[in-house]
């Protein structure tokens, strides 16, 4: 998750300190490994959120790279970090549109990391029902995300037509 062995070791130590501090809050409603995994992921995510973005002057970003002779950076290019944030927003909106049962199983399994037998225990259903609900949730989520993409493409086409004077 961090791409650096030294940072990973620091985060592992932080996760074990967190485990030591929070072990009393473990309720046994899920497997210990699931709880530890979720806590570790949270430690890493909190560290990633705290990282500041590198600062660069405008001159540095528009001038050719002298060391490698590479081309200058294109100011109008899409920002992949921003598009990832937009994708997360669309994903969260689509998850909210799922029927409650689908959403619950999806969040428990794919977001929080619970196993199907744990979900079945939490929801009072069979393991097969949990698997079926997850499959249906993922299928519906794909459909919702594709609908969002089509809507965005329509909006872009409409804006282009409007700007060119050929709109309705």
If asked whether residues 18 and 88 sit together in one domain, one would say no
* Same domain for 87 and 47: no
Enter the pTM of the model: 0.48
Structural domain contains residue 61: no
CATH number at residue 13: 1.10.1740.10
Q: 27 and 95, same structural domain? A: no
Tell me what percent of the residues of the chain surpass a pLDDT of 70.
76
Q: Is 108 helix (H, G, I), strand (E, B) or coil?
A: helix
- What is the Cα–Cα distance from 164 to 57, expressed in whole angstroms? 35
- Residue pair 167/136 in contact by the 8 Å Cβ criterion: no
What's the domain count of the chain? Answer: 2
Which stretches of the chain are DSSP H helices?
Answer: 5-22, 32-50, 58-62, 80-97, 100-106, 116-123, 127-164
Residue 135 CA: distances (Å) to CA of 31, 85, 126, 132 = 22, 25, 14, 5
* pLDDT cut 90: percent of the chain above it: 20
- Residue 29 — φ and ψ, nearest 5°? -75, -15
For residues 160 and 167, what is the distance between their CA atoms, to the nearest angstrom? 8
Write the pLDDT tens digit of every residue in 75-116.
Answer: 556 655 555 555 777 888 888 999 999 999 998 998 888 899
pLDDT (tens digit per residue) in 17-45? 888 888 888 888 888 888 888 888 888 88
Beta-carbon contacts of residue 116 (< 8 Å; ≥ 6 apart): 109, 127, 130, 131, 134
- Residue 9 belongs to domain spanning: 1-52
* Tokens representing residue 63 in the block: 């001038």
Give domain status of residue 114, yes or no. Answer: yes
Task: Kindly state whether residues 25 and 102 are assigned to the same domain.
Answer: no
Determine the Cα angle at 23 with ends 125 and 6, to 5°.
105
In contact, 95 and 141? CB cutoff 8 Å? yes
């Amino acid at each position: 998750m961090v791409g650096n062995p030294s940072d990973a070791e620091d985060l592992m130590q932080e996760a074990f300190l967190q485990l030591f501090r929070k072990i009393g809050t473990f309720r046994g409603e899920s497997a210990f490994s699931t709880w530890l995994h979720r806590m570790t992921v949270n430690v890493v995510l909190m560290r990633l959120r705290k990282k500041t973005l590198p600062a660069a002057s405008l001159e540095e970003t528009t001038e050719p790279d002298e060391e490698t002779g590479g081309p200058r950076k294109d100011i109008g290019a899409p920002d992949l970090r921003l598009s990832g944030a937009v994708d997360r927003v669309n994903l969260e909106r689509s998850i909210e549109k799922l029927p409650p049962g689908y959403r619950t199983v999806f969040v428990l399994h794919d977001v929080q990391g619970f196993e199907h037998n744990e979900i079945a225990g939490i929801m009072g259903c069979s393991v097969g029902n949990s698997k079926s609900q997850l499959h249906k949730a993922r299928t519906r989520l794909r459909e919702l995300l594709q609908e969002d993409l089509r809507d965005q493409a329509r909006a872009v086409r409409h804006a282009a037509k409007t700007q060119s004077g050929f709109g309705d």
